[in-house]
Amino acid sequence: MNKSYYLAPLQADTDTESVAKSLAQLLGNSPIHQVFKEGLPSPEEWILKSEQSAQQVIDTFSNAGDVLYDGTYSATSASLDITEVHAHAAAHLLAPMILLIDASGMDEEAAINASRIMALTASRHGGTPAGTILINATFTPSVGLEHAPVATVSGSKVDAADLENLRPILQNPPRVAIPPLAYQGMLTERAKAAPRTIVLPESEDDRVLQAAAQILKLSAAKIILLGEEGEVAARAQKLKLDLSGAKVVSLSDESLIERYGQRLSELRSDKGVTPEKARELLKDSAYFGTMMIECGDADGMVSGACHTTANTIRPALQIIKTKPEVSTVSGAFLMLFSDHADLYADCAVSINPDCNQLADIAASSAKTAAQFGIDPKVALISYSTGDSGSGETVTKVAEAVKLVKENHPELAVDGPLQFDAAIDRKVAATKRPDSPVAGQASVFVFNHLDVGNCVYKAVQRTAGAVAVGPILQGLNKPVNDLSRGALVADIVNTIIITAIQAQE
């Protein structure tokens, strides 16, 4: 378990040296890193250039291990809310916050109120307050704080014994909220740990080439581009991209056509695919890329930037096929919020699944969620919670839930649930008080593509969530589809997701 912490002083130029050393000692002599030292973003930059600042800090400290981050800072603009800055920095460092307040001139009420306001502000901006240290305090608090334990010190110098009240929280760190950029960074590190080979069939699209260059720079995957080497090189030069680490494979490579064609005709002979027909199919880059996976030359494929979903999925269904325990391929999205990640399905493939297919989608979605670090609590969504309503889709959802419970008794699953009952604990307490899922769902399974697709896009646009996907679920090997409107960042994320799937 990560035991990094972030020391967040409220006042500028606070002498944090003895506080930081004492905290580090209690944490097992963790190294101390200054967050605002020269070369790293200043507090002002965290407001003016927030995403660039977050990325720089993530890149700098991604392999730091268990660390105490010291957020000491010099005087800043009077209009800058330093607690907001601390919260952003701590969140992207995945570190709970130890709030530090110089209580000089404060009575007990003022100091406690300052701590409460600081904790509330930090929480609203994605931070996770875990404890408070009051230095230069002339009192011992007679009341506790809702958010954290408090350590009070009469002077400005602190030793480990002064922080005994914080020991429980230091030994058992609270779970921190993970912002989207940090979550994506974690996924990148997972992909880098065991790089897989991903084939990209659409080298004619500049976005694909740009994404490939970024992946190679990150060392997140090995890349195969389907196309002609001269054409790819010329386009890369014009775009000023370094694609020297990519392998370019021609669709006209006769040795591969012979090998892939023979295997394809064997696999599809019962469908009338002769070697000649197979060679014809291999002119389609999606078939060619899928055969690379089938023949062990690639571990996964990402396509769809300039082709339809059907064009991407059809070869995969015909050649790679579904896992033995799965009969339904579905499309899920990782929804990255400011403080957590959820999974929504099916939002891309299955239009109107029956109860068996819906149960399949729910089970696949739980596995996908777990694969990407989400504790799966599966809610099957309907316009009714429990037996409060009736209708065809309500019955379908109820039957699907029954099937999931029978076939996967280890899963936390419930439905039908209305969306509010699935996510809101107060609503759940009224509508579904005994549910293991209601009020705390992390996997949302929709009973119709109309619903799933509309909900994920509505949440993406109105709640500011980052939608990563679609992730195709249920195939024996990973093939993932892109929207034809995909941004370069979307393609990068999908390649990383595919590389992680290929590690399983």
The per-residue DSSP string of 240-282 comes to: T---TTSEEE-TT-HHHHHHHHHHHHHHTGGGT--HHHHHHHT
Peptide bond into 481 cis (omega under 30): no
412/480 same-domain check:
no
Q: Between the CA of residue 209 and those of 292, 373, 377, 380, 501, what are the distances in Å?
A: 19, 29, 37, 38, 22
CATH number, residue 443 = 3.40.50.10750
| Dist. CA 322–CA 311, nearest whole Å | 17
Do 141 and 208 belong together in one domain? no
pLDDT tens-digit series, residues 422-437: 999 999 999 999 999 9
pLDDT at 177 over 60: yes
| Residues forming a β-bridge with 480 | 302
- 445 sits in which H/E element: strand 443-446
What pLDDT, in 10s, does the model give residues 294-314? 999 999 999 988 887 788 889
Domain match, 98 and 114 both:
yes
Residue 144 pLDDT > 60, yes or no? no
Any idea what DSSP says for residue 349? S
* Amino acid in position 309: T
CB 481 within 8 A of CB 330: no
Select the highest-mean-pLDDT range: 49-58, 174-183, 293-302: 293-302
Helices 392-407, 355-371: axis angle to 10 degrees equals: 50
pLDDT tens across 389-413, in order? 778 889 999 999 999 999 999 999 9
Residues 49 and 73 in one domain: yes
User: Do residue 142 and residue 9 come from a single domain?
Assistant: yes
Q: Residue 366: helix, strand or coil by DSSP?
A: helix
The residue range of the domain holding 205 is 180-321+476-504
Counted domains in the chain: 3
d(CA 139, CA 127): 28
pLDDT of residue 1 exceeding 50, the answer is no
Asked if residue 87 and residue 14 are part of one domain, the reply reads yes
Is residue 379 predicted with pLDDT exceeding 70?
yes
- For residue 434, the tally of other CB atoms under 10 A from its CB is 7
> Do 303 and 184 reside in the same domain of the chain?
yes
142 and 30 part of one domain: yes
Residue 80 and residue 13 share a domain:
yes
Tell me whether the omega of the peptide bond preceding residue 470 falls within 30 degrees of 0, making it cis.
Answer: yes
Q: Give, in order, the Cα–Cα distances in Å from 81 to each of 13, 117, 126, 219, 245.
A: 15, 12, 14, 37, 44
Return the pLDDT at 83: 94
Q: What is the mean pLDDT of the chain?
A: 91
Q: Are residues 268 and 140 in the same domain?
A: no
